[in-house]
Amino acid sequence: MPAKLRYHAAPATPLSLAVVLALTVAGLLTLSGAEAANKQPQCGDTITADTRLHSDLVDCPSNGIVIGADDVTLDLNGHTISGDGEAFGQCPGREFCDFGVLNIGHDGVSVKKGSVRDFFNAGVLIGRVRENRVIDVSSKGNGFFGFVVSESARSLIRDSSGSRNPAPDGDGLGIFASHDIRVVDNSFKHNAQPGIHVALGSNDNVIEGNLISDSGPGILIEKADRNRVRRNRFVGNSAGLIVAPGSHNVIARNHLSGDGDGIAIEKGRDNVVKRNLVVGASGDGIYLGLDAPPVGGLDNVVRRNEVRGSGDDGFDVRRKDNHSVLTRNLAVGSGDDGFDIESRSTRLARNRATRNGDLGIAVRRGAIDRGGNRAGGNGDRRQCVQVKCHGAPRR
């Protein structure tokens, strides 16, 4: 088959690198104790006690609210903190400006029940923290990120929305140099860049039960290992989920529909892609490796996935991918091959292909046939090339 060019990871944005390397901030007014409970904070205030908004904060010229102590709860109380959408022109070089809610270094903080929008940098930033919680917060229209989690651990984003963060740089959520972060039951829609970007050594995180749609791509895992991505729904993204590179990640039981490509492991080792359903990808359903530049992974496992109606191949393994295993997968109705295996070291067993436009299973000479593959009703009467396959598979 002709070489195919696919999305591959771009360098992190300047903001994301700054978040990791220079987490410092200076607050303005500080509210504490009874004052915080009774007084409506203003744009730029630093809070050191539990605080509830009584009205919206509108057109903040720089930061919205800055967290200044551990174990603080900021209750937005259904209200909105909004920026003016423009860069703060007087921001000192090593300070952070233009964030809706900003927490650097304070543990045990909760932000809940409201919305943050239209900040030049990001809606919510938590950095160098532990045990933070962001619950039921909408963050949209921000220049770079809806949410950023940097150099942090054991924190949670739940029941929230990071959407409509615009071109050219807007991500729904960025997780950088962080571990044990749980991203559960959120939505990330209409972002110019990834719905969720996990990068720069962010390991052992859980991304579960989220809706990611109309973003580019849905989830990008870049230089991050041992993350678990499961039971998410992807709809209409430029690509569904890309690992480029990353190792020991588990991608399981996700539902993808109408994305560009479905799931890709472009580079990395010992990743597991299992029990996912990919429907109507305009490109490949699931692919391993990358043609340009030619790179691939090692010892990745793709098993018990179902791919239906891909515009190109159902499953595509590029030449530079090494020693991956494809077992018990199903490809139905792909525009080209059900399985297009260009790597000589791929091992195949008990895969099924039916009603694909060209071959059911096309294998380059030298790939390892572990038996039990089945193909029938495909456009090429040979059904399979360079692998033994039985007749029409059960659907």
pLDDT tens for the chain, 395 residues long, are: 333 333 334 434 434 444 444 443 333 345 555 455 567 899 999 999 999 999 999 999 999 999 999 999 999 999 999 999 999 988 887 788 999 999 999 999 999 999 999 999 999 999 999 999 999 999 999 999 999 999 999 999 999 999 999 999 999 999 999 999 999 999 999 999 999 999 999 999 999 999 999 999 999 999 999 999 999 999 999 999 999 999 999 999 999 999 999 999 999 999 999 999 999 999 999 999 998 888 999 999 999 999 999 999 999 999 999 999 999 999 999 999 999 999 999 999 999 999 999 999 999 888 899 999 999 999 999 999 999 988 765 55
Greatest Cα pair distance in the chain: 79
CA 43 to chain CA centroid, Å, is 31
| Beta-bridge partner residues of 316 | 287, 340
Taking CB atoms within 8 Å and a gap of at least 24, the contacts of 164-170 are 164/140, 164/189, 164/190, 164/191, 165/139, 165/140, 165/141, 165/191, 165/192, 165/193, 166/141, 166/192, 167/192, 168/192, 169/13, 169/15, 169/143, 169/144, 169/193, 170/142, 170/143, 170/144, 170/145, 170/146
What are the residue ranges of helices labelled H in the chain? 14-21, 33-38
- Closest to 18 measured CA to CA, from 114, 119, 95, 91: 95
CA distance 15 to 111: 22
In the numeric block, which tokens belong to residue 175? 């997780």
